[in-house]
Structure 1
């Protein structure tokens, strides 16, 4: 069964705008009234990431179960998934991030994955969405030995979280070190399909110059999770190779000063064929969550409602094979 969720990440345009319970309540209710069933969390550390990990959730809501009740009070069914960049630090255990390319980091990599997965099980979620490696500006092109190290590291993670009923879904982003020299396809070929699944992000693939529909058709059995969002520009200048591209390119827009890499699903100037992609999902017998995102939007609530309209009136009818002549809203 396909279900719709929304990413909580878009409600944090600045680090101090999403630290209080009233902001959380408003965000969850906006997601709910816009027609979504679940919410996707973003992993993080410290008081400015109150939904970022089990320790912070317990500190703010009494327990993980207390937060699930809070989610359900907003008329959402559950948390769908948790997005995790293992290279980011967790001050809760004084760790400074784990590099999946480093074999010595594997015990802590697995420990953190299990920590998140156990809580995700309690929250009703099913997929741990993980960034497989750092950006290209840090890793450079990955040779075959590096790809094998990544594959074996994530194999351990996938096996370790299975007991919680949580799947691993590696998430490729357009800044990834896997973008160079066909690294993503090489990692897919080197990893175990039973334990290492993929999260397909339509916008990230598009910005990287990869057709998300063609990618889905090549790997229908590997996709365990979907993040659906629109893209405004292709990184055809290959600025993803720059040092600190997370700031200079993703946030500041690179040399073209791109105002927004990601836009709403119904944006008539967007590059992602959302309807075509959802149709391809239906034909591939996909079973799982579709998480809609609008990263870095300046107007979070507006973006959720616009995307909710598109989901309810254009995209979900495709899944249900309901005929509709209602046009998308032109932005």
Structure 2
């Protein structure tokens, strides 16, 4: 059954935004009023990230369970998933990020994954979504690094399974896995317990067809991020230094205003109805998390996407698979 959730990341465009409880409540209520039943959290660290990790959550809501109650009071069923980039520095334990290509740091990677997975289980979620590799601008992946990468994520998948949590690797258009069939090689090298979070816009910007990829790898896709794309990185600018800033935020040499857009916004580079139809065809059972990364108007984007899900995409899945909005 398809379950519909929304990613909360768009509500925090700057590090010092979205820190007050009233802001959190407003965002969760907008998501609920737009027809979604769950919310995907975004990992973060420090006092400016009250929802970023279990320690900050406890400091601001009394406990992880206290935040779970807060989500329920906003009329959502609960937390669907948690997105974590392991390169993120954690002020809470004074660590400087985990590199899954480095075997000597694997114990720390697994420990941090368990920190999120245990809290996620308490929140009622079931998928830990992770960025599998550093950006292409930082490094390339040779055979040695790819082997280490696969072994690291195999270890993490086994560890979080103890909490009843599934692991899903989130490929993005800045990833070095774009080069030399990296994503295919990583999927082949990892166990079946290592799932894939297929992001329709990230695939499209990277020049990949998300529907065709899903058709070929439906057995590995355990999580979905659904959003539209406004342009394709056909210049290969993901290899630029610091691409999170020079390309993703600044738009690269073409100054693309927004790489990601609402589901029904022209140009429709992502065939959302076709993708949802493919999910139904393959009996996908899991969360579809709608996103509007870097939206200048987060509530408006959420409501526009909610309309599209309720009246266009929801009926596709409900008519054929009994999905619940």
| TM-score normalised to structure 1 length | 0.96
SS of 2:83 mapped into structure 1:
strand
For residues 135 and 95 of structure 2, the distance between their equivalents in structure 1, rounded to whole angstroms, comes to 20
Where does residue 307 of structure 2 map in the other structure? 309
SS of 2:138 mapped into structure 1:
helix
SS of 1:226 mapped into structure 2:
strand
Tell me whether 1:86 sits opposite 2:89 in the alignment.
no
Which deviations, in whole Å up to 9, do the C-alpha atoms of 1:6-25 show, x marking residues without a partner? 00000012222200000000
Where does residue 166 of structure 2 map in the other structure? 167
SS of 2:306 mapped into structure 1:
helix
The answer as to whether partners of 2:83 and 2:128 remain within 8 angstroms in 1 is: yes
Where does residue 286 of structure 1 map in the other structure? 284
Which deviations, in whole Å up to 9, do the C-alpha atoms of 1:118-176 show, x marking residues without a partner? 00000000000000010001112x12222111110000000001011100000000000
For residues 218 and 145 of structure 1, the distance between their equivalents in structure 2, rounded to whole angstroms, comes to 26
Where does residue 319 of structure 1 map in the other structure? 317
Where does residue 179 of structure 1 map in the other structure? 178
Where does residue 97 of structure 1 map in the other structure? 97
Where does residue 252 of structure 1 map in the other structure? 250
Where does residue 20 of structure 1 map in the other structure? 20
Which deviations, in whole Å up to 9, do the C-alpha atoms of 1:260-302 show, x marking residues without a partner? 0000001131300000000000001100000000000000000
Where does residue 326 of structure 1 map in the other structure? none
Where does residue 298 of structure 2 map in the other structure? 300
For residues 319 and 144 of structure 2, the distance between their equivalents in structure 1, rounded to whole angstroms, comes to 46
For residues 305 and 39 of structure 1, the distance between their equivalents in structure 2, rounded to whole angstroms, comes to 14
Where does residue 145 of structure 2 map in the other structure? 146
For residues 139 and 318 of structure 1, the distance between their equivalents in structure 2, rounded to whole angstroms, comes to 41
The answer as to whether partners of 1:136 and 1:176 remain within 8 angstroms in 2 is: yes
Q: Which stretch has the larger CA shift, 115-124 or 143-152? A: 143-152
Tell me whether 1:75 sits opposite 2:75 in the alignment.
yes
Residues 182-221 of structure 1 aligned to structure 2 (within 5 Å): 182-193=181-192, 195-221=193-219
SS of 1:19 mapped into structure 2:
coil
SS of 2:222 mapped into structure 1:
strand
SS of 1:199 mapped into structure 2:
strand
SS of 2:319 mapped into structure 1:
coil
Where does residue 329 of structure 1 map in the other structure? none
**Matched positions, count:** 320
The answer as to whether partners of 2:258 and 2:294 remain within 8 angstroms in 1 is: yes
Q: Unmatched 5+ residue regions in structure 1? A: 323-331
For residues 187 and 45 of structure 1, the distance between their equivalents in structure 2, rounded to whole angstroms, comes to 28
The answer as to whether partners of 2:120 and 2:126 remain within 8 angstroms in 1 is: yes
RMSD: 0.7
Where does residue 328 of structure 1 map in the other structure? none
For residues 215 and 118 of structure 1, the distance between their equivalents in structure 2, rounded to whole angstroms, comes to 31
The answer as to whether partners of 2:102 and 2:145 remain within 8 angstroms in 1 is: no
